[in-house]
Amino acid sequence: MNSNRLPVLTIVVPCYNEEEVLMITARELTSILKEMISETLISPESSILFVDDGSMDKTWELITALHKTNHHANGIKLAKNAGHQNALLAGMDTAKAYSDCIITIDADLQDDVQAIRQFIHKYRAGHDVVYGIRRERKNDTAFKRHTAQWFYRVMEKMGVELIYNHADYRLLSKRALEELGRYRERNFFMRGVVPLLGFSSAEVYYDRKERAAGESKYPLRKMLAFAFDGITSFSIKPIRFLTISGFLFLVFSAIAGIFALVQKFNGYTVPGWTSIILSIWFIGGLQLMGIGLVGEYVGKVFKEVKHRPRYGIDSGLIRNTTQPKKPSATPLRTRLRSSRKLS
């Protein structure tokens, strides 16, 4: 960043059925944006980019209304629901054409928007990546708190580098965004990829709040799927574990077989129908689990080799005093539809 020029910040907000909270979110983010502009921390060209991830409610209509009345509000609408991570990528790909840095934050206002000021101070101090980290999980249920801790421990054991208690509240510089574009996998686990970038990073701690309105878009089913995707996207240790287990069972079976032969030759015959059936069921279940796990990895390879785009943009409402460069064949393989509007 040119030290003589104020950085252009874009706050990227993925939205899926957020009509209940969107106007509150826009008001809070606009307020902090104006405060930082008046404090000469960021450029007056800084903005908020709302990404409608195929919402089925009035989210896009509200974004359109905001764009008309709020000078700092921009928006893009994805052609269909692409998922939270892909919605983040769509916003980041769009914003990096005209931004010096971006901050990603969820629309539910659980992440403290006042921490954004600290993000910018860290960025101006020379850090390319700034992580927003929760101080504690007192607002979570006991179940969610313990499963989250279990998730981080499992990911660490699998060799995946994660920032503890960090979700998707972070700042990335333009340089970090360009480097992120070199990671082209279809199964994109951003929380694991960002620490791999290797640039100077800093941490900002904040207290997480209750959701301002609406319902969580991450029920237990999605949380488990997200965790499983993260593990299988970054580690082959589950397959290695099955290989070792298979080898141990082979050794155990050989010992048991030798023991059975010795007993037979010595004239001992012990009825063992129950133990045989149980062992068959157990080993059969383990084999089926192993086949399923290998299938998950093969499925991921299948998705990767097709090189399909992660998302498609149906339309966009971008207001900029400095006209952004038209996104090239981006390394993240975006697909901009011809219906995109620039105002």
Give residue limits of the domains in the chain.
9-220+309-342, 237-306
**Single-letter code of the amino acid located at 23:** M
For 75, 194, 196, 230, the CA distances from 161, given in Å and listed in that order, are 32, 9, 8, 11
Is the pLDDT at 258 greater than 80, yes or no? no
Q: Can you give the length of the chain in residues?
A: 343
Give the separation between CA 170 and CA 162, rounded to whole angstroms: 13
* Average pLDDT of the residues of the chain: 77
**Residues 14/91, Cβ–Cβ less than 8 Å:** yes
DSSP state of 313: E
CATH 3.40.50.720 fits 9-220+309-342, yes or no: no
CA-derived radius of gyration, the chain? 25
What 220-229 contacts at long range (C-beta under 8 Å, 24+ apart), as own/partner pairs, is: 223/147, 227/151, 227/154, 228/296, 229/187, 229/189
Query: 342 by DSSP, 3-state: which?
Result: strand
For 37, 122, 128, 158, 212, the CA distances from 135, given in Å and listed in that order, are 28, 18, 22, 24, 19
CB atoms near residue 183 (< 10 Å): 15
What does the pLDDT read at residue 271?
A: 65
pLDDT tens figures, 123-177: 999 999 999 998 876 666 666 666 667 776 776 776 667 777 788 899 999 999 9
**pLDDT higher for 281 or 9?**
9
For β-strands 9-15 and 47-52, DSSP reports them as: parallel
Hey, what are 297's tokens? 């990895």
What does the pLDDT read at residue 47?
A: 95
**pLDDT higher for 60 or 195?**
60
Is the pLDDT at 289 greater than 90, yes or no? no
What does the pLDDT read at residue 337?
A: 38
CB atoms near residue 287 (< 10 Å): 13
Quick one: which of 283, 148, 240 has its CA closest to 156?
A: 148
What does the pLDDT read at residue 186?
A: 73
- Its pTM stands at 0.70
Quick one: which of 145, 16, 11 has its CA closest to 80?
A: 16
What does the pLDDT read at residue 342?
A: 38
Highest mean pLDDT among 67-71, 247-251, 269-273, 306-310: 67-71
Helix axes 115-124, 22-38, angle to 10 degrees: 40
Q: What is the dihedral of CA 83, 89, 91, 93, to 10 degrees?
A: -150
Give the separation between CA 328 and CA 308, rounded to whole angstroms: 17
- For the residues of 186-251, what is the DSSP string, one character each? SS--HHHHGGGS---EEEEEE-----SSS--S--HHHHHHHHHHHHHHH--HHHHHHHHHHHHHHH
- For the residues of 169-202, what is the DSSP string, one character each? EEEEEHHHHHHHTT---SS--HHHHGGGS---EE
Hey, what are 313's tokens? 């943009």
Q: What angle do CA 192, 126, 1 make, to 5 degrees?
A: 105
**Half-sphere exposure at residue 138, Cβ-oriented, CA atoms within 13 angstroms:** 6
